[in-house]
Each structure stands twice: as structure tokens, then as C-alpha cells.
Amino acid sequence: MIIAKFLSSFTPYFDAVVQFRPLPHDEGQLLERTLCGRKLTTEDPAVVDGECGEPERAVAVLLNGNFNHSLDIQGLLEELKPALNRRSRVVAVIYNPYLRGLYRVANALGLRKGPPPTTFVTRRDVEALALLSGYEVVNLRLCNFPPGRLTGVGQRLDSFLAALPLVRWLALSCVVTLRPILPEAGRPGLSVVIPARNERGNIEAALKRMPELGCPLEIIFVEGHSSDGTWEEIERVRAEYGDRYRILSAQQRGKGKADAVRLGFSMATQPLLTILDADLTMPPERLGRYYEAYAAGLGDFINGSRLVYPMEGEAMRFLNLLGNIFFAKALSYVLGVPLGDSLCGTKFLSRKDYERMVAWRRDFGDFDPFGDFELLFPAALLRLGIVNLPIRYLDRTYGSTNISRFRHGFQLLRMVLVGLVRIKLK
């Protein structure tokens, strides 16, 4: 079943899939074929509440055709919301509203089981209903195309057709994922990971410019084979500022920013994580904006965007700017989410969601030496809800960039193609 295969691209990284109020004619095949360690059905929101009782649990609530047999979709979503936690997602399978006549003909010819759908909603309808009910649409995937069903070619043809303009709207079904908008109850602690290679002149400034966030703050420096005394400077400021912050430090054995971020995140003890590049081109003072966006429940993955405000001086050369725009657009197409900037170093998420990303990466494989795509890919696939937060990109005040525009540009292009083949067209 094509829809089950699509759901199984992300449900293994949830703690449970709960099918809520299956329709009378639903034989349970979709849930049965969807991969997850724990699966159950229920009519009772209290059971969903029990599954979501621990805030760290990620639960997918499946609504298979419910929207198309409901006279009050908003009421259904509002009834569910109090039972959900922040990591829960509502996954609704709905029929294509532009093919409503086809379903009636299929019923009349006996080609389709169950009563014909009575309610049809467009994408705009779903977005409006989600907003009114306190949710956000984080993914909408068209699937189940007639050619795939008739020829038996299956998932790969289905994915290819879903990627084609105009043709994609001939899908029989779509799967919509809704994220409940739930603010944090308190002020959870934050671990700030600062990868640093040849950044000695910026280490103390990173601490001096760290904003007061009103939460426990942990700062983790990860030094990577520097030749300018960066490690010695990290150890100096760790001793000097240790009464102000909890400061940890480590030296990489591997190479590259991705390796540094993984090491820093593995050392983190606070529930929230973020990255601050040691070049300070993303102003440390702006970390409060990321924190507040997350705390308000506006997104579960806050992604910095340098491409909105005018940049300071020579912060980004023209060819680099063109490359950043290209990769943001290309990755938006591949992942099906609007990305303002795919290569801004600062990203903000929860430690629990990062643990799910690590599980995804073990299955997908290591492919990203920079660390941006290996966070963005699973953030989109796990339906975290990506929010682009504009910041003004500043000039360096010390050192020089470690980026080679052409060599690294080809590596980034290769990673986009990996995503196209293994995610978009899979």
C-alpha cells in the first residue's frame, strides 16, 4: 500500500502511532502496514492523552479519511488537541477534492468499498482549519496516483508523479501532517555549542555577548585542530567565566563542523540545543530571538536566515550569496518545506528531537561533512515544523573563513542530489 510506505518513511521515529476513531468501513490495513514499534486504535481521546502523557514521547495520531466523513473537522481537531503533547503530530489521510466525481463513479461501479466521501477540503481549507484549531500544517504530500495503482509500479512512480507540476494534483489522496502549537510551560535550559577552528580572537567575545535568557545556560566549546592558540584561549576563558556559566570544552578527534556539532550535542545536558558559529557572524545577542520563538511554540526547529536583511560589509561575497539562494530553493523543493536559508550555522531544537535525528541518520547514513543538511533533512522528514528566523549577517572581526566556495559548493550540490533521489523521488 503506497500510503503506508510513505507513512513508514517517518513513523519508525515516533514512539507510537494511534489511529483515532477509525471509520466503520476501515479494515485497519493502513495501520497494520505502517511501521512503528507501538500501534493501537482508539475512540477515546483519553487513550491518546495517556500515550502523550510524557512530554518527551513522540506520538503520531492517524486520521484515515475522517476529514472526508466529518461535518465538523475543526471540532474534531479541537477535541484532540488537549490530549497531545508538543512532539505529537496529527497525520490525516484525505481525498483529493478535485476528483470528487471520480470517487462517486468508483462507488457506483463497485470499484471502491465504503460509503462515498461527503466532505472535501482543499489545501487552503486544511490550512485554515488547522489555524482555527491551534495547529500548523507542517507537511502535505500528494500520493496514490492512478497509474501506479493500475500498473503495479508502486512507490517510485508515485513519488515521481508527486514531484511533477500540475500532474501532482491528480493524486487520489494526500497525507497532511499537523503540528499542535503548544508553548513551553516554563523556561527550559539551553546548551549552546560553539564549534571553533582558528577563532582565538572570538572566544571571549562569544561569552561577553551572550544574552541573558532567563534559563539555565550551558556553553560547550568544541575546538577543531586550530593552529592559532584557540584551545588555550578556550581553557583560559573557561576558568575565568566559570562562575557565570557552566562551560564545557572538548577537542575534536575527527574533522569538520558536523563532527564538532555531534560531539558538542553529545556532551549537552540541557533540554534545548543550539549552535553558535565561533566567527560570530550570527550575532550572539540574537540567540534570545531563537529561544523565544521556540518557547512560544512557533516551531520545533528554528532555522537562521541570513538572506533577508542587508549584510554588513563583505560578510558574504556575491558568488556565495548566489550559491546560498540556490541551495535554499533547491532544498525547499527536495524537502517540501520553505527554507529561507539552508546554510546558516545557527539552528535551534530540542535534545529529544535531536536524538530522533541521530536514529534517522543511522538508517540514512552519513552524508554531510558540514552539519547543516543532516539537521535540515530529518527536521523536515520528522515533521518538526521549521521556522526561518531572519538575522543580519555580520562581517568577521577576526580570522578568515574556512569555506572553499567551489570545492564545498560541489559537495553541497551532491548532497542536494542525494536528497532528491533518496527522499523526494523514493
pLDDT tens digits for 194-250? 999 999 999 999 999 999 999 999 999 999 999 999 999 999 999 999 999 999 999
Each domain of the chain, given as residue ranges in start order, spans 2-180, 190-424
pLDDT at 296 over 90: yes
pLDDT band at 406 (very low <50, low <70, confident <90, very high): low
Q: What are phi and psi of 108, to 5 degrees?
A: -65, -35
Residue 358 grid cell: 541521530
For residue 196, how many C-alpha atoms fall within 13 Å in the half-sphere facing its CB?
34
pLDDT tens digits for 73-121? 999 999 999 999 999 999 999 999 988 888 888 777 777 777 888 999 9
341 residue type, one letter = D
Tell me which residue has cell 542525494. Answer: 418
Q: To the nearest whole number, what is the mean pLDDT of the chain?
A: 91
Whole-model pTM: value is 0.92
337 residue type, one letter = V
Instruction: Give the span between the Cα atoms of 99 and 174, in whole angstroms.
Output: 12
- Higher per-residue pLDDT: 313 or 185: 185
Instruction: Give the span between the Cα atoms of 36 and 221, in whole angstroms.
Output: 37
Neighbours of 259 (CB within 10 A): 18
Residue 273 grid cell: 540545543
CATH no. of 190-424? 3.90.550.10
Q: What are phi and psi of 142, to 5 degrees?
A: -80, 140
Residues 309-329, mean pLDDT to the nearest whole number: 86
- Tell me, what's the pLDDT at 85? 96
CATH no. of 2-180? 3.40.50.150
Q: Is residue 348 within 8 Å of residue 354, measured between CB atoms?
A: no
pLDDT at 352 over 90: yes
- Tell me, what's the pLDDT at 70? 96
Q: Is residue 91 within 8 Å of residue 130, measured between CB atoms?
A: no
Query: Which has the closest alpha carbon to 238: 298, 270, 196?
Result: 196
User: How many percent of the chain have pLDDT more than 90?
Assistant: 72
- Tell me, what's the pLDDT at 107? 77
Q: Is residue 83 within 8 Å of residue 42, measured between CB atoms?
A: no
pLDDT band at 154 (very low <50, low <70, confident <90, very high): low
pLDDT at 148 over 60: no
Residue 34 grid cell: 505502517
Residue 261 grid cell: 556539532
pLDDT tens digits for 3-55? 999 999 999 999 999 999 999 999 999 999 999 999 999 999 999 999 999 98
- Tell me, what's the pLDDT at 321? 87
